Structure 1
Amino acid sequence: MKARTRWDSVCKVEDLVPESGVAVWTEDGPVAVFYLPHRLPALFAISHTDPFSGSNVLARGITGDIKGEPVVASPLYKQHFSLVTGQCLEDQDVSIKTYPVLLDGDRIRLEVPAAQSETAAA
């Protein structure tokens, strides 16, 4: 049985900063949303939690490109994470969660797991 999800509105377009990330809160925990206007797609969403430190810092990381892959470098230990797959480029055993992201008018929406109460009611 597939886990139920929903599309949550997490911020507005005006909240985004080009070439950077913003932290948002979801039912699934903290998420980092990145806006890279020179790429298609231009919006990416990953877990905000750095798996190496356990700190919520990835939205403050530096964005870049490694061999055509959009990445963010953790501001703490500098590991690079793919914004597409969540894979750590320096350690193949480590990856972070990615989220489908959607531009809906002036709102940014993320596909996140439905709350437990919603899942039980269905």
Structure 2
Amino acid sequence: MTIESGITTWNAICTLDDITPNTGICALINDKHVAVFRIGGDAGQLFAIDNFDPNAQASVLSRGLIGSLGARIVVASPIYKHHFDLASGECLEAPENSVNTYRVRVEDSMVCVAM
């Protein structure tokens, strides 16, 4: 389902309850693998980044370990353990291999990602 809002297209991917707190899921949006993370309980924080890890050349970031490095909330890739900042998409060990971020929100209990 897509929701038009001005010039932004929001893609509904699942309900908020479908994402266990402090984990990620992978969604296919417009032929692109997107990792969506729910941090904290209740509504908490939601983040969306590319699921493709350019260091490992694999779509695996949604299965990474979530944690923090200083003030940054990160996901560690399950293959080479590179850390990706969930807010900026920056790869901390190899900034040249950073990933895209996407806006994400909850609308009527549905998690929506802007592409």
Partner of 1:67: 70
- Cα displacement (A) at 1:5: 3.8
Gaps of 5+ in 1: 113-122
Question: Quick one: structure 1 residues 88 and 50, their matched pair in 2 at CA, closer, same or farther if it must change by over 3 Å?
Answer: same
Question: Quick one: structure 1 residues 41 and 18, their matched pair in 2 at CA, closer, same or farther if it must change by over 3 Å?
Answer: closer
- Cα displacement (A) at 1:28: 5.2
Partner of 2:55: 52
Q: Could you tell me which amino acid in structure 1 is paired with residue 86 of structure 2?
A: L
Aligned pair count reads 108
CA RMSD of aligned residues (A): 1.6
Give the ranges of 4+ consecutive aligned residues of structure 1 lying more than 4 Å apart after TM superposition. none
Instruction: Give yes or no for contact 2:60–2:77 (8 Å, CA) kept in 1.
Output: yes
SS in 1 for 2:10: strand
Partner of 1:7: 10
Find the aligned partners of 1:77 and 1:28 in 2 and give their Cα distance. 25
Find the aligned partners of 1:14 and 1:67 in 2 and give their Cα distance. 28
Among 32, 38, 55, the residue aligned to 1:35: 38
Overall identity of the aligned pairs, in %? 37
Partner of 1:98: 101
Q: Could you tell me which amino acid in structure 2 is paired with residue 67 of structure 1?
A: G
Find the aligned partners of 1:109 and 1:99 in 2 and give their Cα distance. 10
Gaps of 5+ in 2: 1-6
Instruction: Give yes or no for contact 2:38–2:44 (8 Å, CA) kept in 1.
Output: no
